[in-house]
Amino acid sequence: MNFFELAWSILPALLRGTVVTLEITGISISIGFILGILLALGRIYGNKSIYIVATTYVEVIRGTPLLTQLFLLYFGLPSIGIMLSPFLAAIIGMGLNSGAYQAEYFRGAIQAVKSGQMMAARSVGMNKFKAVRYIILPQMLRLVIPSWSNELIYLVKYSSLAYMIQAPELMAQGKVIAAKNFRTFEVFIVVAFIYLVIVLILSKILDILEKRIRIPGLQTQAV
C-alpha cells in the first residue's frame, strides 16, 4: 500500500501511544511545577542549608542528561531492590528533571518582580509567607508563562525518551509497528507529523492563554 494508506492504517495504534505520551507529559509537568516552586522559594527565601541542598539538586539535574536519569531510575534502582514500572520511572524521572528547570524559571521570574512589591506587602503587615502567597506568586506566575510554555513543549518532545525505558508511548508504538512492516522511515514520518501537530496546537493554546492573562503594563517577559 502507498504511504497514505499506510499512515491511515497505523493511526489508531499510534494514537494509543499518543495518549500515553500526553499522560506522561501532563503528570511530569505537574510534578515539576510543585517541585520547581519549592526549589525556587527555597533558593530565594530559604536559609543557608536549604539553599545549598536546592542549588545542588538543580545543578546536578541540569548538568546530566535526562536519558541517564531515566536509566538510573529504571535500570539502576533494581540494583538496590527498587523496581519501577516503565510508566512510573518515566513520570518520576521527567518530573524530577523538569522540577530543576522550572525552579530556575520561577527563580528568574520571582527576581523580576520588583523589590518594592515585597516591601509594600511587609509594610501593610503581611508576614513573608503571606506576602509571597498573595503578592509575589501571582505576579511571578504571569511573568513565567513564556518560559513555562517552552518547558511544556520541551516535555512533550522529550517524553519520547520514555521509549528507551520501555514505556508504551508514541515512539514505542512506532517502533512496534515498524518491526512488523519494516517500513520504518514512513512510520516515523507519521510519528513526526503527530508530534508536529501536538506542538503546534499546544503553542497556539498557550499563546491565547498568555494573552488572556496579561495584565496591562506588567510585562510578560521574565526579564
Partner 1 sequence: MAIDKLILIWQSFPSLLRGTLVTIELTAGFLGLGLIVGIPLAFGGVYGNKFIAVTIISPFVKVFRAIPALVLLFLFFFGSASFGIEMSAFTAAILAIGFRSAAYQSQIFRGAIQSIGVGQMMAARSIGMSKLKAIQHIILPQALRLSIPPWTNEYAGILKDSSLAYAVGVTELMRQGRYIVARTFGNALLVYLVCAVIYFVLVYTGNKLLGLLEEKYKIPGYEVKKGARKVLERI
Which alpha helices (DSSP H) does the chain contain, by range? 3-45, 48-63, 66-71, 86-112, 115-123, 128-131, 137-143, 145-158, 170-181, 184-213
The least distance separating partner 1 from the CB of residue 69, rounded to whole angstroms, comes to: 8
Sign (positive/negative) of CA torsion 175, 177, 181, 185?
A: negative
Closest to 20 (Cα-Cα) out of 155, 158, 167, 164: 167
C-alpha separations of 197 from 120, 124, 153, 201 in Å: 45, 49, 12, 6
The least distance separating partner 1 from the CB of residue 222, rounded to whole angstroms, comes to: 6
Cβ proximity to partner 1: between 23 and 126 the closer is: 23
Residues that bind partner 1 (CB under 8 A): 60, 62-69, 71-72, 75-80, 101, 104-105, 107-108, 111-112, 147, 150-151, 154, 157-158, 160-161, 163-164, 171, 174, 178, 184-186, 188-189, 191-192, 195-196, 199-200, 222-223
- Rounded Cα gap, residues 209 and 220, in angstroms: 12
C-alpha cell at 181: 512492516
Cβ pair 89, 70 in contact under 8 A? yes
The least distance separating partner 1 from the CB of residue 105, rounded to whole angstroms, comes to: 6
